[in-house]
Amino acid sequence: MPRVTSEDVVSILGFFEDLEDPRSTINRLHLLGDLIVISICGVLAGADGPKAIGVWAKANADWLRRHLKLPAGIPSHDTIGRLLALLKPAAFQSCFEDWIRSLRSRDDRDTGENSTEKSVHEVIAIDGKALRRSHDRKNNLGPLFLVSAWSVQQGISLGQLATEEKSNEITAIPELIENIDVAGATVTIDAAGCQKHIAAKIVEGGADYVLALKGNQGNLHQATETWIIAQMENEFADVTVRRYEETVKGHGRIDHLVYYQFRAPDSLPGRANWKGLRTIGVAIRISQQGDKETSEVRYFISSLRLAVKRFAQAVRGHWSIENTLHWCLDVTFREDESRLRNRRAADNVAWLKRFAISLLKQRQDKESIAMRRRMAGWNTDYLAQVLGLKAT
């Protein structure tokens, strides 16, 4: 699937024209759009919070003046911090929807939305991640937990929701699905999200699902595992099976993957209660890292028809939210070290980081995300290309 080049990215300022300004009108000196663009630029260039964004802005004042109006000059980090603590995360994220929609619609035009030869289907991976050092013992608050939706093929973050505890992930996922456009995609979720009402929500949104099974779906997981193993031992003599193999390399590891997909048997416990359930599958992963070899076997239920390559695409795609988004957030953006205590500010900064990754993923060069971020911090011309900024 072709990526969008930086020249195609719409100016950031246009995204926030309809965003309600939460600040008091008294002594309001700085334009809302200017503050948001400065925040995005700062995070792209290496800043991890309001203080660092303010320092970056002062260091790049001349460059910012060429791109923004700045009627009251460069804002202080306190001004930036107050804004990020006031902006409602849902309203803030909704301003990116047109940008996301433009990328996705342009991708459809480039590939031919109605083409019968289109072999790569969009996979949306939904998963949760804790900001481990964001706990606030003084106010008896644990780490902030974020549930994110990631478009695997396009490398863009589609949305996120914050919860106070990992246990709330189950209630956050349906709301997140309502907030994004899943129609025509395959939605993948790990075992925590393997719930009947979540499966129904995905189907009602016009999408398919691939849900991982684990102990939280005890009877269903055990029955699926037992049935598939029995078919393997019988050499698939009595069933229709689809099989696919591939080898994937990354982060110093070689993974050999084998997928099997079957029509869901009527004997599965509670099958009728899972809306759209058509197939079940298993993914076997044998990983080689140096001299160490490990293996993993995971079972899935799905609304997909019998098409093992699409099933494999979805399973592998879900792993990408860990290997691409979460790994990048931890290693490149050092998200786990965030000590922001204000929940709203922490949520908004976390979204800025995900948006920054989405922008950096659109660049057409051979550098890693980490190197692209460094280049954005070292070279304002490169930063401008990433953002598609135009002088005002």
**Rounded CA separation 238/224 (Å):** 16
What confidence score (pLDDT) does residue 103 get?
58
Find the distance separating the first CA and the last CA of the chain, reported in whole Å. Answer: 34
Label the pairing between strands 186-189 and 123-131: parallel
Complete DSSP assignment for 266-306: TTSTTGGGSTT--EEEEEEEEEEETTEEEEEEEEEEES--S
Residue ranges, the chain, pLDDT below 70: 1-12, 99-120, 132-143, 164-167, 251, 336, 338-341, 388-392
What confidence score (pLDDT) does residue 167 get?
57
Per-domain residue ranges for the chain? 1-116+362-392
Runs of H (alpha helix) within the chain: 32-44, 50-59, 61-67, 77-86, 89-94, 97-111, 169-179, 196-204, 218-233, 308-320, 327-331, 343-361, 369-378, 380-387
What confidence score (pLDDT) does residue 139 get?
62
Residues 367 and 9 sit within 8 Å (Cβ to Cβ): no
Best CA proximity match to 241, nearest among 172, 165, 311: 311
Question: What confidence tens digit (pLDDT) does each residue in 276-326 have?
Answer: 999 999 999 999 988 899 999 999 999 999 999 999 999 998 887 877 787
Query: Cβ contacts of residue 8 below 8 Å, gap of 6+?
Result: 106, 388
Residues 302 and 280 sit within 8 Å (Cβ to Cβ): yes
CA-to-CA separations, 13 to 44, 48, 359, in angstroms, rounded: 16, 21, 15
| pTM of structure | 0.82
Question: What confidence tens digit (pLDDT) does each residue in 145-177 have?
Answer: 888 899 998 888 888 888 866 557 788 899 999
What confidence score (pLDDT) does residue 235 get?
95
What confidence score (pLDDT) does residue 28 get?
92
Element (H, E) at 216: none
To the nearest 10 degrees (0 to 180), the angle between helices 169-179 and 196-204 is 0
What confidence score (pLDDT) does residue 8 get?
34
Give the Cβ contact number of residue 193 at 10 Å.
25
Question: Quick one: DSSP state of residue 94?
Answer: H
